[in-house]
A and B are shown apart, each in its own frame.
Chain A
Amino acid sequence: MSIRNYDREKCTGCGICIAGCPMDVLRLDKAAKKAVIRYPGDCVACWGCESFCPLGCFDVSPERGRGELVSPY
């Protein structure tokens, strides 16, 4: 789990989260003017959407969508 909460009601479809997502997780539903979480499993929890969203629509957990991180040791 990565995007653990997305407040669709609050979203105005400005597209900033979609622009900032390095993993192409989010897409815009142009008709509804809402962001859509299209590929949730690919989220790497970088917090881009959460920190850039002007309306605070996102709550992202620290875990990635897929796989744990390899240990450096």
Chain B
Amino acid sequence: MKNINELGTVINTDVLVLGAGGAGMCAALKAKESNVDVLLIDKCGIGWNGQVPIGGGILAYVYPEYVEKWAEKVTRDSNFFNNQDWAFAFGKYMHKSTLDLAAMGLTFLKNKGELDILTWGPNIHVTLFDAPKSLVALKKTALARGVKMMDKIYAIDLLKRDGQVVGAVGLGLVDGQTYLFNAKSVIIATGNCGYMHEKTYSSVQGEGPAMGYRAGAQLINAEFGSSYVWGIKALGKELMGIHFYLYLENARGEKIMGKHYPELMVGKHSVYTFDPRVIDAMQKEVKAGLGPIYLNLMGLTDAEIAGLAEDRVEGLTQLIANDTMKLLREKAGIDPSREKMEMWPRYLYSGGGLRIDIHGKTTLDGLWAAGGASSNSWSGGGGGQAGLGVQSAAVTGFVAGENAARYALDNHRLEIDFSSAKQILERVLAPLHLKGNLDAAEVVYRVHEAVVPMKYNRQREAGRMKEALGIVQDARNKLNRVGAADFHELARYHAAESMVMAAEFTYQAALMRRESRSGHFREDFPHRDDKNWFKWITIQHQDGAPRLSTLPVPLEKFKLRPQ
């Protein structure tokens, strides 16, 4: 019998968590409470990685007595298209997860020694936490409780035996070693795909959903969740603040928001960086030949500019706006009080993820998912309030961690199957044997040409989406010319491939959904069509190609029904 150690360094554990951002860290901490072996790995260095430390430190909160109404509102806002089981469970878990995070060492803003729960809007509450140090604090607790960790390991494929996930393949970016992790249960917590267009979120490159898909797990909601934010072109960065929209103007110096949304110019409104109305106005102006769009803050003092960032949560956005103004001066050489700056929409995310049930389990045995890599349809493809992304990472992380650990307690570890591991490694390592003549960055650029333009991804239409898919296919063809000299370049190859796959999934599902709903807008099918499309789209690997299916929203099982 062939020895698995010939293929790489084998490391055994009970629960393997891939990705140590907010979701993965929470999953590892919760799994460890069941007193099982937990190994947490990440392609970066654990503690400063992922999206949480670079975010705003806002955590959504729902008072326990308001949970029912909150979930009902989410359900109605989604026109009953959401997974109500998850919406109620999520709402209910938020109080507990907030307290758990505090007990695990996360530093929250406090008032007289108590957790400060702030009011963001009518019945919208948040807590604030120290974002940059958040994962460092949780890491300290996790290490003290015995969670094992490995930095700079790039996980790229799952290992299976008899249809069950039994581990993963990892590339040691620093030591150049190939690792074969053998576990009783695996949790994917790698985030979804941010395509590295909005620079700040460059760490999420689609590897998790891609490896889950290759192993046979279902993806869901790929057509939803694609989003644009408006930001400063020179910086490649969004500008937080709710009143800046008033100062947007076209190349002629005309204020653009008053032209398209006059109601926003009367009274006080909060218009965030992800507000689709701003993206609409920008797009219309540019289409009319009146671009580019500028933010004109000339003549304003720094204090006045910070004032425009004003938010309901005192001080926070002002600080962020001040930082951004500093960056503008220092990096782009733009003095915002003396010259205007060009703004444009930036593509942020692809949508969906690995389909998970109420226990955080994917459709594959032995595999759980959490955070951005997963999709539980709690919101029904709609948007939400600030801080829900982090809270969703925490809650899905806790849920997956608890259930993956329970599974590990009840089951034996199945050994890695030699021949299938060998086959997977041959695929993973193949670019090392190729003398390529193209850089992976060129593949990524080509993917950007398909996903970033709003004519493809915001105003969707069959012909144009097919054109975009053609570009993605071209990107895939280009991959064949990318070689890798070391594991760093190999990781870049696989990241590029994961982005190709994310783009394919998005457009294939978007082509299938012949209606408009939530963030998915079809010019050729501009209306919501509950008669034919009250169903979710799933994607599964079959015979070497993605197979798309529909899953009727199981309204009969849910608590609320439209009257």
Binding site for B on A (CB under 8 A): 15-16, 18-24, 27, 38-39, 41-42, 44-48, 51-52, 60-62, 64, 66-67, 69-73
Neighbouring A residues of B291 by C-beta, 8 Å: 73
Neighbouring B residues of A38 by C-beta, 8 Å: 488
Closest CB in chain B relative to A9 CB, distance in Å: 21
Neighbouring B residues of A47 by C-beta, 8 Å: 199-200, 327
CB <8 Å contact, B283 and A73: yes
With known contacts A22-B203, A72-B344, A72-B452, A66–B45 Cβ distance under 8 A: no
Neighbouring B residues of A15 by C-beta, 8 Å: 45
CB <8 Å contact, B202 and A22: yes
Closest CB in chain B relative to A59 CB, distance in Å: 8
Contact with A along B447-477 (1 / 0, CB 8 A): 0110011110000000000000000000000
Interface flag for B151 (CB, 8 Å): yes
Q: Which of B37-54 contact A (CB under 8 A)?
A: 43-49, 53-54
CB <8 Å contact, B199 and A46: yes
Which among A20, A21, A69 is the interface contact of B448 at CB below 8 angstroms?
A: A69
A49 to B, closest residue via Cβ: B48
Binding site for A on B (CB under 8 A): 43-49, 53-54, 132, 151-152, 173-174, 196-197, 199-200, 202-203, 228, 234-236, 283, 286-287, 291, 327, 331-332, 344-347, 439, 441-442, 444-445, 448-449, 452-455, 488, 491-492
Neighbouring B residues of A18 by C-beta, 8 Å: 45
CB <8 Å contact, B448 and A70: yes
Interface on chain A toward B: helix, strand, loop, or mixed SS? loop
Neighbouring B residues of A42 by C-beta, 8 Å: 441, 488, 492
With known contacts A69-B236, A73-B286, A44–B448 Cβ distance under 8 A: no
A20 to B, closest residue via Cβ: B48
> What are 18 residue pairs bridging A and B, where the CB atoms are less than 8 Å apart in the complex?
A16-B48, A19-B151, A20-B49, A22-B202, A24-B152, A24-B491, A38-B488, A44-B202, A47-B200, A47-B327, A51-B132, A52-B53, A62-B234, A62-B331, A66-B441, A70-B197, A70-B453, A72-B453
CB <8 Å contact, A62 and B45: no
Which among A24, A51, A61, A67 is the interface contact of B488 at CB below 8 angstroms?
A: A24
CB <8 Å contact, A20 and B44: yes
With known contacts A46-B200, A72-B453, A19–B47 Cβ distance under 8 A: yes
With known contacts A22-B202, A22-B203, A72-B344, A45–B236 Cβ distance under 8 A: yes
* Complex Cα–Cα for A21 and B47 (A): 11
Neighbouring B residues of A21 by C-beta, 8 Å: 44
CB <8 Å contact, B45 and A48: no
